[in-house]
Structure 1
Amino acid sequence: MNEVRISTWNELQSQLFADSWNSELGRFRSRYAFRGLSDAHYHLETTLIRLGGNYADLERHLLRNFKKYAHRNVVKGDSIWHWLSVAQHYGLPTRLLDWTYSPFIAMHFATANIEKFNLDGAIWAVNYVKTHQLLPDKLRYKLEQEGANVFTVEMLSESVKSLEELAKLTSDHFTLFFEPPSIDDRIINQFAFCSVMSDSTKAMDEWLENHPELWVKIIIPAELKWEIRDKLDQANITERVLFPGLDGLSHWLKRHYSPKVPA
């Protein structure tokens, strides 16, 4: 079973750090990407898919106009991967999906919305090393050449010049993970990276169904959310840290002082 329902804080920690021992290094180094969702029924859909309508055809128009109207100094380089990273960061609907290396930050996003505390949450954990073993030869060799487990935008820029080229690398659908540029402290503090699929119309959980060896979905029961939230706050995993600035501070204070309601 790829879905695991936990019932305690300790069970959640054990599940999130399972398989993190790396015998070659003699260190605990997880190879999982984590994504927290406030509602366990949410799909791994990109903001582009959630845009609705004829979104696949609109993707190039969105990016073209973003590039046209954005300040040129927001992007160091002119590759599609730099532009996608910046566009995603500032809220443009894209085919990217946000992930984090940190299970605690994933826990934050699963429990940040107190209006969803009556619903089970979830944390998806996807093994990005095993995911990259399914890449087309050109991309897999690039990782091997660099001795890396995850792409940078520079590595992708050297390998794939456009989204059209990405889709033509193979007839099979695939997913890759890459680290965006450190545009600001938000990306750094969230220990963030992104996934992108070769087919913009495919939700990642739909693709993962055919690759059960890659993932686990941890279900967080609604009745456990308050305990997790309070312990994360004490550990300083809050909006004030993850979204530096007055907006993050305001979101943290609003949530922190909101009355507790039954799950």
Structure 2
Amino acid sequence: MTEPTIARPNHAESVVASSWSEIQELLFAESWVPEIGRFRSRYAYRGLSDASYPLETTLMRLGGQYAQLERHLLRNFRKYAHRRVVERDSVWHWLSVAQHYGLPTRLMDWTYSPFAALHFATAHVDKINRDGVIWGVNYIDAHRMAPDLLRTRLDLEGANVFTVEMLSETVTSLSAFDRLSDAPFTIFFEPPSIDDRIINQFAFFSLSSDPTLSMDQWLSDYPTIWRRIIIPAELKWEIRDKLDQSNITERVFFPGLEGLTAWLKRHYSPRT
């Protein structure tokens, strides 16, 4: 079996999707894995409602001397949060929980699901008249730039991405992680299944060794490992309606009343 012939995006540039069907081709491009004979994309996806948004972490958006504040934020979160919120007392478990509950961290949310990314690129009605974007980063290629210690651990596990357990057993602190290499690097890891939101969003995180370096700045040095798909504003309503009919909605990604009310508010918003 061979992969179908489809258009390949130029990874050094953004690709503007022209239709719903082309978006599907672009999102699932390069998903064929001949070693296993299956379609399994190796990309992490992130959808943004405005194509002009940079790939900045919530820690960066805090502003001020945010890099110096990082350890204080995490220390106090660990001090005041209930111990039962983490399954193990490691920095990687605490970082995952802190990010999940909205604390500014150097982590960035990604998803294995291109449709989840497409949802987040089109879910904000107030941004419906602006071009959206979906970023895709090949996490296997990203890990080839990681320090030897981390690459060796992945190889021993036969894994493509890290888990918090793997990180906990390999690097004990953020400062030790940052010192693994003089050159900035980025890895991807899966958080523990804290609740249904993480599971339903098929979520995982990126982690940079330099909290002051945005992901798009880092990626600019590695043009072959990423793609950037622009979602034109004029396509957003069509995409949004088709995602809703496919049950790709807030009700799925944010189980509970919060997701229900967000879905209802958007679903009944007029197209003006």
Structure 2 letter corresponding to 1:122: V
Equivalent residue, structure 2, for 1:220? 231
Among 43, 47, 58, the alignment partner of 2:69 is: 58
Residue 20 of structure 1 aligns with which residue? 31
* TM-score after normalising by structure 1: 0.99
User: What is the match of residue 160 of structure 1?
Assistant: 171
Cα displacement (A) at 1:118: 1.1
Separation in 2, partners of 1:159, 1:204 = 23
SS in 1 for 2:224: helix
- Alignment match of 1:38 (pick from 24, 46, 49): 49
Unpaired runs of 5+ residues, structure 1, are none
1:136-147 to structure 2, matched below 5 A, reads 136-147=147-158
1:160-179 alignment to 2 at 5 Å? Answer: 160-179=171-190
Specify the code of the residue in structure 2 equivalent to 1:132. Answer: H
Structure 2: gaps spanning 5 or more residues: 1-11
1:2–1:215: 8 Å Cα contact kept in structure 2? no
* Equivalent residue in structure 2 for 1:250, among 244, 247, 261: 261
Supply the distance in 2 between the matched residues of 1:2 and 1:176 (Cα, whole angstroms).
23
Measure, in 1, the Cα distance between the counterparts of 2:244 and 2:173: 41
2-side partners of 1:29 and 1:122: how far apart?
Answer: 22
Paired letter, 1:197:
S
How big is each residue's C-alpha offset from its partner over 1:159-189, in whole Å with a ceiling of 9 and x where there is no partner?
Answer: 1111100111010100000000000000000
* Counterpart residue number, 1:132: 143
Distance 1:84 1:127 in 2: 23
Q: Does 1:91 align with 2:102?
A: yes
TM-score for the superposition, normalised by structure 2: 0.95
Distance in structure 2 (CA, Å) of the matches to 1:84 and 1:253: 32
- Counterpart Cα distance in 2 of 1:182 and 1:150: 15
2:247 is aligned with 1:241: no
1:102 paired residue number: 113
Paired amino acid for 2:230: I
SS in structure 2 at match of 1:212: coil
1:48 to 59, 66, 75: 59
Residue of structure 2 equivalent to 1:191 = 202
CA contact (8 A) 1:99 1:194 kept: yes
CA–CA distance in structure 1, aligned partners of residues 107 and 167 of structure 2: 14
**One-letter amino acid matched to 2:37:** G
Q: How far apart, CA to CA, are the structure 1 residues paired with 2:160 and 2:111? A: 14
Q: Given that residues 239 and 249 in structure 1 are in contact (C-alpha distance below 8 angstroms), is that contact kept between their aligned partners in structure 2?
A: yes
Q: Secondary structure of 2:263's partner?
A: helix
Runs of 4+ in 1 over 4 A off after TM superposition: none
Q: CA RMSD in A?
A: 0.5
Partner SS for 1:210: coil
